[in-house]
Each structure stands twice: as structure tokens, then as C-alpha cells.
Amino acid sequence: MAMAGFALDDRQRLDWLRLIRSESIGPRTFRTLVNRFGGAAGALDALPELGRQAGRTLRLCTIAEAEREFEALRRRGAHLIALGEAAYPVPLQAIDSAPPLIAIEGEPAVLSRPCVALVGSRNASAAGLKFTATLARELGEAGFVVVSGLARGIDTSAHQASLESGTIAVLAGGLDQVYPPQNISLLDRIRPRGAALSEMPLGWVPRGRDFPRRNRLVSGLALGTVVVEAARKSGSLITARFANEQGRQVFAVPGSPLDPRAEGGNHLIREGAILCAETAHVVDVLAPMLRQGDLFGPVPFLAREGGEPPARQEALWDELDLPEVLPAPKLELESEFPRRQDVVADVPHRLLLDLIGSAPIAMDDLVRASGRPAREVSRILLELELEGVVQRHAGGALSRSG
């Protein structure tokens, strides 16, 4: 369903914000609920009962909380853009787990220009930083906006070299929770011609797992992702994997096999990434794409807000039978927050789904079989139930639907 001209009114935007800010609701569940209930308002009405059926009390974001966030954003000069609205970046709209709302600060025009993501190690070499700066500057000269994650090292170099031409920093926390703090001043220099972008609420302090989650937006905004220096197990490789899953070009800069910072890039090249040794190696691939129409596949279905729920819901579920919204990274992370332990864990939907067959199984048995904490299993089961792939029986046992 095309969404040209789609725009939320104030009330709808408030409902969207409340729904996405409510407990256990991620981008994928958001879309499931909006499609099932014909809009965010209907989903908010239905959630308490859905939670009760799942044996849980879901905390909804209140109207007052949502209004406070709007007001705080307004005071900062930030905007919320809804999935499907004209200002929402087209490449990002095409990814499976596109955030329903993105908060941006800066120059909105930058969101409509073609982007290249540059990512790499925080502990970059002098040569890596120099190469990144040259690449970012020349990509800017070629008309591309440089997207990165505002981290130390490669990210910082990429943003700095593209301040004039335009650069987008995607934050893992809220727009007011810049990490690392020493890059607050860099972000101040990014905004005049570029933008800061976040899907998280103001005040959200980024946790370890928010960084790989954020990386899908870095790759999703761009036609291609260039990995400049990356250890074998690093967040940059997760960004590259997201780019690949999103059907975007993946480029990697090679390095000596004796340099651990080159392991990730060399590995990606062996896996099929395009070797990038100069800017032309990126531009020569991406520039011709700009002359094609319809670069991105069909946008995942989203019901028109306030419209009727579609007649054949089954077809919708099929359409929504997508991979995990936020797949558990298969790579161990080079943690961006070395002091935290929660970097790797992400929702193991697939694991639980594999354990659930057509014969009902008790929640306790699932907890034992999965080896995951009861609270996590409960949360995932709710999501699976909301997606319609799992159904709950008398006594709370679960089986596959249909």
C-alpha cells in the first residue's frame, strides 16, 4: 500500500507516540497492532485486555507522558516524523523494522538526500582515520550525505569530514543523551547542515543493546555501508549484516592480515562485500543507482491510520511473517559499553518459536527448555501472540496458531 501524502493529525501522532512508547511494543509489534486494530488508537484500547489474556499487565504510555515528550521536543526544536510521512527517509521506510516515529534535530532537508553509511572501530589507527576523512569528504563532494553513529574513532572522523556537505548522526539513546559525551560539541556542529536522529525517547540513556539496535537505522538510511576498520567481532559488522539483510550495498576497506583492525573488513570482502580502496569504488556503484527509479522494495504494509482494518487479516499475517525485528546478533559484540553485560542478549523469538509446536506446551516448560529468564519468555510470548503466530489455551499453555 502506497503511503504518499500520508500525514498524521495531532491526535493520531499522540496515539502513535503513546503506542510505541508503551511497554513491550517495538516497531514490529507496533505495525502488527496498527494493522490488526486499524490504527494506534484502537491498539491502545485493546492492549490492556491482550495483556490480561497473556497474564501480564502492560504499562501503557499515558497521554500526559506523550504530551510531555512532544513539549520537550518542541522546546529543543526537534521534530517527530511518522513512518509514511513525506519527510520520513525513503530508504529507512523500506526496512522491516522501520521505527514508527523518528525524532530529528537539525536540517530536515538532509533526510531526503542519498546517504552512505561509514562505520568502523572506535580504536581506529591513524591511517584508518585519515582514510575515513578522505572518503567522507569525497563522498560529500559527490553529493552523498554521510551517516554514522557518533562514536569515537571512525564515526567521529566520518562526521567531522562531512560537516559542510551534510552528515547524519544516529543516536542509540534519546536526542538529549549523547554518547560519548565528548561528542556533544561535534553534534552541535553537525546540526546546522546535517541532523541528529533517534527513535528513542528524550531522556533515554543508551544501554549496550541499544547500539546494535541503532545500527539497523545507520544502514537502513543509506544506499550502502562502508566498513572502514573493524575487528572480527565488532558492532560495525552488525551494521554490515543489517545492510546486507536490508538489500543494501556493503563495502569494506581491506587491511593487512596482521592488523586485527582489518580482520572484519577482510572477512566481509571474502564474504562478498565490495573492496573499497578509494572513494570511486563506492561512488561508481551507488551513483548509477540514483538514476534508477524505485530503488527499494515494497514498503511493509501499514494500515492507513483511522481506516478500516483490512478484510483478510490472514494475508496480513503472511505479509508480516518477517525475520526478527531486531535479530539477536550472531556476532559477539565488541561492546560499546564495556562495563555492561547486557550487550549481546536480544529477543530470541526464533528459539521460542521452534520450541512451540501444535500441541500446547506450558509456560514453565518453555522457560526450562529455552534456558531463558521467565520474564523474558513471558514478554516474547506476548509478542508472538500479538503477532498471531502463537495462541494461548486454557491454563496458559501455548501452541502454534492455525
By beta-carbon proximity to a copy of itself, the closer residue of 7 and 275 is: 275
Measured in whole angstroms, how far is the alpha carbon of residue 175 from the centre of its chain? 15
| Largest separation between any pair of C-alpha atoms in the chain | 63
By beta-carbon proximity to a copy of itself, the closer residue of 109 and 127 is: 127
By beta-carbon proximity to a copy of itself, the closer residue of 258 and 394 is: 258
Residues 171 and 198 sit within 8 Å (Cβ to Cβ): yes
Which amino acid, 382?
L
By beta-carbon proximity to a copy of itself, the closer residue of 136 and 269 is: 269
By beta-carbon proximity to a copy of itself, the closer residue of 184 and 280 is: 280
Shortest distance, position 144 Cβ to a copy of itself, whole Å: 18
Helix (H, G, I), strand (E, B) or coil at 336: coil
By beta-carbon proximity to a copy of itself, the closer residue of 243 and 252 is: 252
By beta-carbon proximity to a copy of itself, the closer residue of 202 and 268 is: 268
Q: Which of 230, 226, 227, 228 is nearest to 263 (CA)?
A: 230
Residues 111 and 89 sit within 8 Å (Cβ to Cβ): yes
User: Measured between alpha carbons, how far is 359 from 264 in angstroms, rounded to an integer?
Assistant: 43
Shortest distance, position 254 Cβ to a copy of itself, whole Å: 3
Shortest distance, position 222 Cβ to a copy of itself, whole Å: 20
Shortest distance, position 284 Cβ to a copy of itself, whole Å: 11
Which own/partner pairs from 360-365 qualify as long-range (CB within 8 Å, at least 24 positions apart)? 360/393, 360/397, 360/398, 360/399, 361/397, 361/398, 361/399, 362/395, 362/396, 362/397, 363/396, 363/397, 363/398
Shortest distance, position 267 Cβ to a copy of itself, whole Å: 8
Shortest distance, position 276 Cβ to a copy of itself, whole Å: 8
By beta-carbon proximity to a copy of itself, the closer residue of 215 and 225 is: 225
User: Measured between alpha carbons, how far is 165 from 34 in angstroms, rounded to an integer?
Assistant: 38
Helix (H, G, I), strand (E, B) or coil at 391: strand
Shortest distance, position 286 Cβ to a copy of itself, whole Å: 16
Shortest distance, position 135 Cβ to a copy of itself, whole Å: 9
Contacting positions for a copy of itself (CB under 8 A): 127, 130-131, 253-259, 262-263, 266-267, 269-270, 274-278, 281
By beta-carbon proximity to a copy of itself, the closer residue of 49 and 284 is: 284
By beta-carbon proximity to a copy of itself, the closer residue of 184 and 277 is: 277
Q: Can you state the angle between helices 10-20 and 63-76, rounded to 10 degrees?
A: 110
Shortest distance, position 372 Cβ to a copy of itself, whole Å: 35
Retrieve residue 78's grid coordinates. 526537534
Residues 6+ apart with CB under 8 A from 116: 139, 144, 145, 146, 147, 222, 223, 224, 225, 226, 282, 286
Shortest distance, position 124 Cβ to a copy of itself, whole Å: 12
User: Measured between alpha carbons, how far is 316 from 102 in angstroms, rounded to an integer?
Assistant: 24
Kindly tell me the burial class for residue 325, based on how many C-beta atoms sit within 10 Å of its own C-beta (0-12, 13-18, 19 or more): buried
User: Measured between alpha carbons, how far is 179 from 156 in angstroms, rounded to an integer?
Assistant: 12
Provide the β-strand partners of residue 148. 169
HSE, CB side, 13 Å, CA atoms: give it for residue 83: 30
